[in-house]
Structure 1
Amino acid sequence: MTKNLQTEERSVRIINTPSDEVRKSFFYVQETGYIKLGDSKATQRENLNSFLIVFVLGGTGSLEYDGRHYNLREGQAFFIDCSKKHSYRSSKDNPWEILWVHFNGATSKEYFNVFYQKSAAVFVPENSFSMENILRNIIELNDAATANCAIRSSLLIVSLLTDILESTCISKEAVPETAKAVKRYLNSNFTDKITLEQLSAQFFMSKYHLEREFKKCCGITIFEYINTKRITLAKRLLRFTDKTIDEISAACGFSDQSYFNRQFKKAEGMTGTAFRKMWRN
């Protein structure tokens, strides 16, 4: 905990100006801090090249973002893309006490897109202690501004984003036994010719329901899963055997070498021959 956070001061705000190297290489902190608000004045912004995570330690407040209104209370958080019009304010009668970080860099946009496709801007962290601890560590680290500050800050931001995605984007529902059984079957038989009709009959489930339950379990479709298993086996055979491309194609369950070549290049960005040469060299 920083010296400022141990005192009775109302707030601490740390503003950073990262180097070009840091901007190109890492997630980086633009601004971070702690505040216990004493009024209900709104913060309104748009077109700000930044991403903002706020965790509410106490009090109540509200957020307007992407055409929606949210009320926030202790233990909740929000994650927004500040390029969009937004505003937030503390309540007058029960002021906010919050931790926050403005950050950018690396794949910030991609992380946010994954989050916002699955969640509303406001969420309840699965582990509120972890979120609070990471944010306090970010503040302490950037307050001290040591030589390794940029690298450690990037690591902490990744940890924070990982916690958020685990809280909001990973289904907590129990995986249906049928989906588990289908996955086990595919793991043992992915090199065979497999059709949805066959699986539907074998597991006594409609094709639509089968696809939906499997994707819920694995995050990808049945045929994406089969293709991934086949490509993984092909990579092993290319690296550790002298089988021809045609032999590998057949061994992995592809209908012909041409189709194998297309799927392999789509997955790896190069031909099987190029992959073999690169890894053997």
Structure 2
Amino acid sequence: MYDPIIKELFPNRKSLYMEQLLSAPTHDSFELPESYERNDALWKRHNLDYLNGDYNLSHTCSHYGQNFFPSTFARKALLYLQLLCSVTFSEKHYTIRKDLPSYLIAQTFYGKGLLRYDGKEYTLVPGDLFFIDCRQKHEYFAVSKKGWGYRFIHFDGYSMSEYYKKILESGNVRFTFSDTSHFQELFKELILINYGTDSNKEVITNRILTDMITEIFCQLPQYQDSGSPEFIAELCDYLQNSFTQKLTLDKIAAECNLSKFYVSREFKKYTGKTIFNYITDLRIALAQRLLRYSNLSINDIADQIGFDDHNGFYRAFTQREEMSPSAYRKYWKTF
């Protein structure tokens, strides 16, 4: 089964079975900059041995493939591609792997697959994609007698660990996009810009990958218009006006005339944070301003923003900013 995106972009491209691909004297249908053996050596040099795991790749039909060896600048500053492919596999296909320094987005266009990841199972039908960190153990396989076809992107980047924390917070790694979605247009754009020889394609690729992740984020509960109850907005207003005071869950719940257990659960559901994480974020934001623009001592700042325990303030600030309050003040005083 052809990938409709590849068929649209390259109507004359011929798909090849992997056995043909690796024995062919030229690689017109699979964009390899050098020989397969040379690429295999480069993958291993970059600790990207994609075949370091358990696989069944028999009767693999490749519709498109391109691998990448990003520049030093891209590896240090951008989201960058490692592998971009479109493939149809037989019903026997499976992959079991871990410890690959790469993130993977794989979108089904044919048949049916199943992913096991982070203690959960996800069924994948056309339009569905999964987004995983390949450092964690993962396994996926065809569950359709007609096989399974999916297009996929292996990529990485300096900011990806923070991006991916948001995915994990949602408790879901499967997302769905229609054929007419903006995500599909971005996928096409990604293929086209990297098919060409533009000197700025790494920078444009960074933008496209960021846009694709943004489209995925827009399906996360914490970034959707949740239709939250009115009391959630009122509670946020209350906390923003009183976070420097000594607050207890009982006092907060009384303000809402609701059970503290109900308030805690619903607040986390609609904001993605616990009540006290929300309060701490407000306090740290005020501490940042005071450290930058006032001469108050660090202990006085801790008192003013609502921390009775100065050590607790130090720990909370350092955890969020990855530097101590004094180091933060010193850093900003240099500007």
TM-score range, shorter chain: 0.7 to 0.9
Aligned to 1:155: 207
**Shift of residue 225, structure 1, vs aligned partner:** 1.8
Aligned to 1:223: 276
Aligned length: 278
**Shift of residue 12, structure 1, vs aligned partner:** 2.1
What 5-or-longer segments of structure 1 have no aligned partner?
Answer: none
Establish whether residue 277 from structure 1 lines up as the match of residue 330 from structure 2: yes
Please, which moves more after superposition, 70-79 or 257-266?
257-266
2-structure distance, mates of 1:235, 1:201: 30
Aligned to 1:129: 181
Provide closer, same or farther for how the CA distance between residues 47 and 193 of structure 1 changes in structure 2, counting only shifts above 3 A. Answer: closer
1-structure distance, mates of 2:165, 2:300: 41
CA contact (8 A) 1:239 1:276 kept: yes
Aligned to 1:60: 111
1-structure distance, mates of 2:98, 2:234: 49
Provide closer, same or farther for how the CA distance between residues 152 and 231 of structure 1 changes in structure 2, counting only shifts above 3 A. Answer: same
What 5-or-longer segments of structure 2 have no aligned partner?
Answer: 16-62
CA contact (8 A) 1:63 1:87 kept: yes
1-structure distance, mates of 2:104, 2:245: 48
1-structure distance, mates of 2:311, 2:172: 44
CA contact (8 A) 1:245 1:273 kept: yes
User: What residue identity is the alignment partner of 1:228?
Assistant: D
Aligned to 2:237: 184
Establish whether residue 86 from structure 1 lines up as the match of residue 139 from structure 2: yes
Establish whether residue 198 from structure 1 lines up as the match of residue 251 from structure 2: yes
User: What residue identity is the alignment partner of 1:191?
Assistant: T
Please, which moves more after superposition, 60-69 or 143-152?
60-69
State how 1:23-172 maps to structure 2 within 5 Å.
23-35=75-87, 37=88, 40=91, 42-47=93-98, 49=100, 50-57=102-109, 59-66=110-117, 70-82=122-134, 84-89=137-142, 91=144, 93=146, 98-108=150-160, 111-112=163-164, 114-116=166-168, 118-125=170-177, 129-170=181-222, 172=224
**Shift of residue 183, structure 1, vs aligned partner:** 0.8
Aligned to 2:43: none
Aligned to 2:287, which of 231, 234, 237? 234
CA contact (8 A) 2:217 2:223 kept: no
Please, which moves more after superposition, 255-264 or 9-18?
255-264
2-structure distance, mates of 1:147, 1:250: 54
Aligned to 1:268: 321
**Shift of residue 163, structure 1, vs aligned partner:** 1.9
2-structure distance, mates of 1:124, 1:201: 41
State TM-score, norm by structure 2: 0.68
1-structure distance, mates of 2:140, 2:293: 57
1-structure distance, mates of 2:287, 2:162: 30
Identity %: 29
CA contact (8 A) 1:246 1:257 kept: yes
CA contact (8 A) 2:222 2:272 kept: no
CA contact (8 A) 1:46 1:85 kept: yes
Please, which moves more after superposition, 178-187 or 61-70?
61-70
Please, which moves more after superposition, 69-78 or 207-216?
69-78
**Shift of residue 254, structure 1, vs aligned partner:** 2.9
Please, which moves more after superposition, 190-199 or 107-116?
107-116
Across the aligned residues of Structure 1 and Structure 2, the Cα RMSD in angstroms comes to 3.4
Q: Deviations over 1:196-241 (max 9, x none)?
A: 1112222111222111122223222222222222222222223223
Please, which moves more after superposition, 136-145 or 246-255?
246-255
User: What residue identity is the alignment partner of 2:286?
Assistant: L
